[in-house]
Amino acid sequence: MSFDLLDLPEPDRPPVDPEEYLRALMRWHFSVETGSPFWLRRAQSLDFDPIHDVRTFGDLRRFPNVVDEFRAVPVEDLVPRGLTGADRVIAGVYESGGTTGLPKRFVMFDRWMEFALGWDESHYAALGTANVLLVGPSGPHMFGEFARRRARRHDGMLFAVDLDPRWIKKLLERGDAAESERYVEHVVDQAAHILSTQTVGILITTPPLLERLTRRNDLVETIRKDVRYLCWSGAHLDADTREIFQTEIFPGIPLKGLYGSTTILGMSRERDVERADGLAAFDPPSPYIVFRVVDPETGEDVAFGERGQVVMNHLTKYALIPNNLERDHAMSIEPPAGWFGCSVADVGPVATFGDTTVIEGVY
């Protein structure tokens, strides 16, 4: 049995039929020869047979959300047995933010990571050689490794200032706003030193940290002079703030977002066409990563233009993470023609998630 259509896309190969792809993917993850120990074990307690019963994108909803099990499962068990050779090269083990409880662990494969990194490659096409500054989480998060690979693609150096989002959340949870202020100032000081002594062409950070940087007029001047691309990710950016960044603070410098999650091992890219409402819109790489937006009460998909809670699916031979209800709320928007699921805009936090209050800090 051939699994060729599970290979990541290449320039001169015709695109796959999404449903055919999905059926092959079920065979891959639920066959003894190719599936991961985790899924082969987990299949025994499913009340359906994925190979026979999952024929369409809609059928994926039969899967339970298993990501909570990723808090404790040994990561070796997440590796599909069918992966060999270059497919089997591991880029790293990354953890979710830990916003809603203990972190979950995911295995990132090198080939997939290169594909995920390239999803918004067109945005960087004209930049040429550039150094990259990451002001954001490295550590157990995938953000830092993506920045390192971004620098490599531009023949540039990576400067990285780490930010520990879990520590900030702890400070905010216990109401220590003053200490979190000091911590963030400490991060900004480090970024300021790099910006003022080095030439940074690509700045990757979160909207709250970008806002922090802009409180210092000298940094705004330096960024305007040197930085040719601003990449934001990891938090909400409202239309008004986005417009002020674009038109007043950094006119002429592309400001593009990535919306993703460790639980999908990748990101959706910001759409190039501006919306009338000023919101950033995000397209995931269907059929490898697919979004739905659901009514949190009923679990049913909301109509395009409506808000709801984001459900993410990672559907590759490297991992199967179906039907994962994320913490974010977003507006569902029409995806490009022929794509599974939906695209999203106006991504923001939910007030509460289960029993844990979600705190949106600087991450």
Using DSSP bridges, classify how beta strands 202-205 and 158-162 pair: parallel, antiparallel or unpaired: unpaired
**CB-CB contact of 310 with 293 (8 Å):** yes
Interface map 255-284 toward other proteins (x if CB under 8 A): ----------------------xx------
Query: Which of 31, 65, 199, 241 is the binder for other proteins (CB under 8 A)?
Result: 241
Joined together, the tokens standing for residue 140 give: 């157990």
The least distance separating other proteins from the CB of residue 245, rounded to whole angstroms, comes to 8
Give residues 118-157 in contact with other proteins (rule: CB under 8 A): none
In what helix (H) or strand (E) does residue 129 lie, and over which residues does it extend? none
**CB-CB contact of 39 with 49 (8 Å):** no
The least distance separating other proteins from the CB of residue 163, rounded to whole angstroms, comes to 18
- In the numeric block, the tokens 């909803």 are attached to 61
The least distance separating other proteins from the CB of residue 317, rounded to whole angstroms, comes to 42
Q: How many residues bind other proteins (CB under 8 A)?
A: 14
Joined together, the tokens standing for residue 292 give: 């739905």
* Count of CB atoms situated within 10 Å of the CB of 127: 15
d(CA 355, CA 327): 12
| Stretch in the footprint of other proteins (CB under 8 A) among 38-46, 56-64, 233-241, 333-341 | 233-241
Q: Is 190 in the site for other proteins (CB under 8 A)?
A: no
Joined together, the tokens standing for residue 362 give: 């600087």
The least distance separating other proteins from the CB of residue 49, rounded to whole angstroms, comes to 48
Query: Which of 59, 238, 253, 348 is the binder for other proteins (CB under 8 A)?
Result: 238
SS3 124: helix
**CB-CB contact of 204 with 231 (8 Å):** yes
| Per-position DSSP letters for 10-33, written without gaps between them | -TTSPPPPHHHHHHHHHHHHTSTT
Q: Is 253 in the site for other proteins (CB under 8 A)?
A: no
The least distance separating other proteins from the CB of residue 240, rounded to whole angstroms, comes to 4
SS3 226: helix
Q: Which is nearer to other proteins, 95 or 328 (CB)?
A: 328
Q: Is 357 in the site for other proteins (CB under 8 A)?
A: no
The least distance separating other proteins from the CB of residue 238, rounded to whole angstroms, comes to 6
The least distance separating other proteins from the CB of residue 30, rounded to whole angstroms, comes to 46
Q: Which is nearer to other proteins, 76 or 277 (CB)?
A: 277
Q: Is 215 in the site for other proteins (CB under 8 A)?
A: yes
Joined together, the tokens standing for residue 111 give: 């080939």
Give the binding site for other proteins (CB under 8 A).
211, 214-215, 238-241, 243-245, 247-248, 277-278
